[in-house]
Chains A and B, each alone.
Chain A
């Protein structure tokens, strides 16, 4: 047996023993455990599962052991992910620090910054949010205006950020701020960490079409930020942000699958809500065509994720493939939601109405939520620009 097979067996056995049965059922949004000073556990089992995974370092399997991670290599981490999926184990901890900030601090942070922030993220002690976009800086992110003035021993921050996900619940925020207003767009930007408890920081939620308001506006009014909170070099924040955007895009490409939604997939829903005729085909041929188109595209995307992984493992990585995944992943997620809406017909249209079951109610929530996927983390149009210029080398 190879070392990896051995590893898989060990992982499987450990999960079997340590993951409570209640933590192996599909997760709903209310059951997610988010990091933070004041964590809310939906149940004792969720707390137990989180603590066991945390103590194993498997909240962040690939981070260094001495900083609270699991010390696994990419192949081992993939095996852990696969075995968790096979047993249906829930993600024990949710946090932007894990997905986005952590990798950037590991790459760009000083030793002191790594020691200050990484273990806290790994252990779920601090909840992070992201401050990139501004009311006047969306797709054109580099035009951002939030100022951080050098006041000798600290920065003085003034400005407003928008689409700061869960900023009202976060303990810290990582921000892009303008530190040199005279420099060309990208060149005067720095990457700054700000404690949300600092005087002058305030947030307001924004209500979305899906009825949710996880996005906020965040305001900075003469906020004093210590110099030690600068990640990477002064005025070089854009490269930190770009490296971090890669993580966000990867996340956005995968998030379609992790988003709380109905318990059925489109095929299962079609069998239930449309049904088969005597030839074993869906009764509605138009819907069948729509469904099979989605299913085939979905499979092609899954295979491409896998190919990309295999290429990295074999040292023949084509760096262009990850660039397409944000676009295809989010566009196909939107299509899937449209297919589901079509399959459920008017049963998908209920809003907070007890006439409809949970799956039906979640269907339109998922559909509305999906509309944000191709906007957040770089719109589909921006992704196509990047592919055209960076991959195909088409002129400006």
Chain B
């Protein structure tokens, strides 16, 4: 257990901050939104991220990865939260590659991982079926048919679903959970992109009698749920890192505004009514930093309390990001509700990020159950 970044990781974080503020500031997301971009991210930016080694960072060396660990990737993702950078990093690397590494056959690993490392292939996890996060008991089915499986069902809120090259589909098998990695252009797959408040990507994906080979199954029915849960916990932790970065940025912009805005002949930051609220936000962020770092180190150390920490981190950052974005709007006053100010982008991202992989209610419930009550 370690809660400080080492020299290399700090350097990486600085590099990431420099690149992201220079190349992918919030205005880059604003541009994607205003131009109604088809892809929802800038492939040129993604290519530069790949060149910086971010796609290969947590992959094993045997598959062209850097094996640098999640403390490092988490630092990068935290910085990406500060600029609300849109990219396939989360879906492809954090969710996708984890599931392949955890449960994939040798053939699946050597097929997909080097391509992910090279930024040549993107993945999306087709998981949700209801308005709220539900990581098990799927209605989508996969039924064995000779050497093949037939997949039927509908998946909602599939992040990067419309643009991914391959989909990992969570299904119900006769006994257990089946995770299939399937070419997104296979017959019978219908994808519909949605526009969400945060200007990023999600799609509804229908599977209509989709015939896939048995070799597309990751692991087996018995392991499927465990493999998926690991992928989801990695995802929750990395998302919490992103939310920490975004909340910190939003907070710092707000404090800067409190120091520059004059009313009643003084800076509004001199009002105790605002000072105490700002101090409380600072406190929440400091506690959040510790939780996110510990959760990231739990991944690297393969600790048994990983599921607890994933829920601790996601629940906390859901709450803190919500608090800070709400306060940021309020403390900015009138300009806080204009589209011209970036604060609105943080507010909108907060609510989308909260719904990804579990709300605070979901994670408090899970944490309590994991602790035996």
Contact = CB atoms under 8 A, between A and B. Distances in A.
Interface in A375-390: 381, 383-385, 387-389
A315 to B, nearest CB: 10
A311 B1 CA distance: 13
Contact of B259 (A281, A292, A295, A395): A395
Interface of B is mostly: helix
B281 to A, nearest CB: 9
Contact of B255 (A280, A295, A301, A392): A392
Interface residues of A, number: 44
Contacts of B364: 289, 292-293, 296
A388 B275 contact: yes
Contacts of A316: 4
Given A271-B373, A276-B373, A299 B312 contact: yes
Interface of A is mostly: helix
B373 A314 contact: no
Contacts of B282: 324, 387, 391-392
Contacts of A301: 287
B371 interface: yes
Contacts of B373: 267, 270-271, 276, 280-282, 288, 291-292
Interface residues of B, number: 39
A328 interface: yes
A384 B312 contact: no
A337 B321 CA distance: 27
Given A303-B291, A384-B279, A295 B270 contact: no
28 contacts: A267-B371, A267-B373, A270-B373, A280-B369, A281-B365, A281-B373, A292-B365, A292-B373, A295-B371, A296-B315, A296-B316, A300-B290, A300-B312, A300-B316, A303-B287, A303-B293, A310-B2, A310-B4, A316-B4, A321-B286, A384-B276, A385-B275, A387-B283, A388-B272, A388-B278, A394-B258, A394-B259, A394-B269
Interface of B: 1-4, 255, 258-259, 266-267, 269-270, 272, 274-276, 278-280, 282-283, 286-291, 293-294, 312, 315-316, 364-365, 367-369, 371-373
Given A316-B4, A388-B275, 17 more contacts: A280-B369, A280-B373, A291-B368, A292-B367, A296-B312, A296-B364, A303-B3, A303-B287, A304-B287, A310-B2, A385-B275, A387-B279, A388-B279, A389-B275, A393-B255, A395-B266, A395-B270
